[in-house]
Structure 1
Amino acid sequence: MNLVPFHIWSVNLKVRLTGEALFHLLFWMYFPFITVYFSEALGSHTAGLLMTVPPLFSMVGHLLGGSLADRLGRRPVMLLGAALQAGMFALFALSPSPWLDYAAFIGLGLGGALYKPAGAAMVADLVPAPDRRRVFAAFATANNVGAVLGPALGAVFYFHYRQELLWTCTVVLLLYWAAMYFVVRETLPPSAKTQADPSTLVLVFRQQWKGYGVILKDRVFLLYIAAGILALIPIMQLDLYLAVYVTEYVPAQALFAWKEDSPVVSGTEIYGWLLGFNGLLFVLLILPVTKWLSPWSERSVFILSSLLSGIGTFSLGLSPHLEFLFFATFLFTLGEIVRSPVTQSFISRYAPEDARGQYLGADSLQNTIARFLAPLTVFLSGWVPPMGIFSLILMSSLISIVLYIRLFRIYSHATRDCEGLKA
């Protein structure tokens, strides 16, 4: 399968890829340090409690954004999300209070959550099903370049030029909003347009939540969400239990074991190296790995992802030596890489055309619920030894494989039944 070359991509996709890549670079220049800022301003205990709230707003934003994308169109919802984020960055830059900063931070997350399902639905509208994995992988690559470069730049700009950075984010988002307004065209399928009606606002919201009620009764989709939650728990340990384990249990050691005068790195420094290695692998490998696995079925890719991430994370506890830690990091990062483009391509193909935005919005549930459950490893680490925690993480991964096998068995039967009815 050959991906459509970039130079003949839709103008919509070119504008979005460029705008999102630049925004994500700026986003990662401030996001990793926001918890540090709130901890210094409000105290670590208060900041820890406050940081549990934004995911709830993001979940609502994803669900609402998906619904509105099917009713109003992809472009208006993306414009709304980008405008909200630009306004919140301006509020952040002008704010005299950390509490107002916190409100702006929640607004930023809400704006991004509104934007994301509409943006994914637009890709699905424009790209043929066989090419979607690799187009989604291209967007993931552009976004993760920012995740690699942003923190290094943010360590300087966020702490020394915070106001200038926030105003730059505001201006870039306004320019991106203008580019979408004047260049990007609507892609809502005709079958979805026929669903719109001049209902009152209350009826619109009632119909949206009723639609999500129907989605959550979809047995295949529920299995997909459950499997995804368990599959994401190992992947999310990179900035959770892995940070605890490496800093507390991995001893200081030579960076290059084969060199006598090699610098010695502490557990904290080793964790930083592993984080950087994870980000670099993601940027370098997501496109070639997606191309390599393009002939594979979605079932096989999901199972491979769970297996690699589970075994890779479990392996971290087998040896504290730096070379082995890099190898284990490579394994679980590969599990994350192979999964990333397939999730959106599966939902965009599985969802009915007139409800694609809603399904992509509901897809965020697995990430939100996993984000709530994944920190349990850190909580349990006070009583359970490291290999016990790593065993629980591996068990989560193996259960997700069982659920994926069950999911695709039901899905294949349902697909054959539908084809039989059509015949």
Structure 2
Amino acid sequence: MPHSGSSTMRRAVARMSGRMPELADRLAAQILAGEEYRRPAELRDDLWQVCRIGLTHGVESILEPGRGRTDLEWAARLGRRRAEQGQPLDRLLRGYRLAGCVFWEAVVDAVAQDEPESVPALVRHATRTWHTIDEQSTAASAAYHRTVYDLLRRSEERSQAVLDALLEGNGTDATLLAAAAEVLDLPEHGRYAVVVASGPEPPIREAWPVDGLRLLWRVRADTQVALAVLGGADLDDLVAALRPHVRVPAGVSPVVESLADLAGARRLADLARRAAGEGVVLLDRKLPDALVLSQPRLAARLGQVALGPVLEVEDGYRDVLLDTLGTWLDCDGSTARAAALLYCHPNTVLNRLRRVERLTGRDLAKPRDMIELALALSATRLLP
């Protein structure tokens, strides 16, 4: 008399439980037959063990359901292991599909040999069997994805830690240099620059492509710092690539040729950022302002000594005198150009400059006095 599909399945599985090594051989051979590469011997041995353990857990879940779903626990462990080994997910899922085929064929053979009258009932049980295989595949896939995410997160954290260490001044540490080569693909010697941009939000996403350049961004509390791997590009190429995307003040350091020099380059880029006013600027084009910012106490003293009498003029006229002096300096000493920018007559510009000279005791016709007043003006504008 035919039996139910589930009881027929349990009896067949009980009879084949001693054939696990043989079934593992069959499954491993089918998996390897469809792969385009030759595994090392130790990986073939690992595959055979995985096949045997997986099939054994599947048998146990049918014969001893009270023990829980050990097959799903094993699937999750296997998913984690394959992710850690860097094997593709589709290879793992293909293994489960083949395992389902090998297991089902073995069950059908066992029933056809010992209980041929129960084969129709067993066939009706096939949907449940494949549902179990699907559950195992899902458990393995979920664990695989979680592990990949964790590995990527740890890798990203390590990359950021290495980048931070380089930018903070540990570029001479041999271990750090080895980590930079491994994690960031940065040789000890190359062509590098550092970019520092203002603001709490990244001006550019880390994945933003820059033709011919490579940017590694690090988000700080109030600034964004990037290590620029220049390759064959120059600083003008870098600035041109940044400008369409950066809407905040940003400074670019000079080129350095060693990871050990990145911390110094970061400090110089920050000085350029503070001197920028707006947009992206190169440090080398803001050196006087950067010099003032690098020595704030001395620069503040210069501003007080050189421009002190002007600073004591009533607020409205003081600002007029300082703006006129600054505009005239920006116009390379051209009174006509300064007047056009200030919307006044050239004689008005000359009168204001003469007032500055009388108040300060400096002569703008003398290079030394003009340099002193220019640096003093930068100090009053850039320092609190």
For normalisation by structure 1, the TM-score amounts to 0.20
Query: Which is richer in helix?
Result: 1
Normalised by the size of structure 2, how large is the TM-score?
A: 0.22
Larger Rg: 2
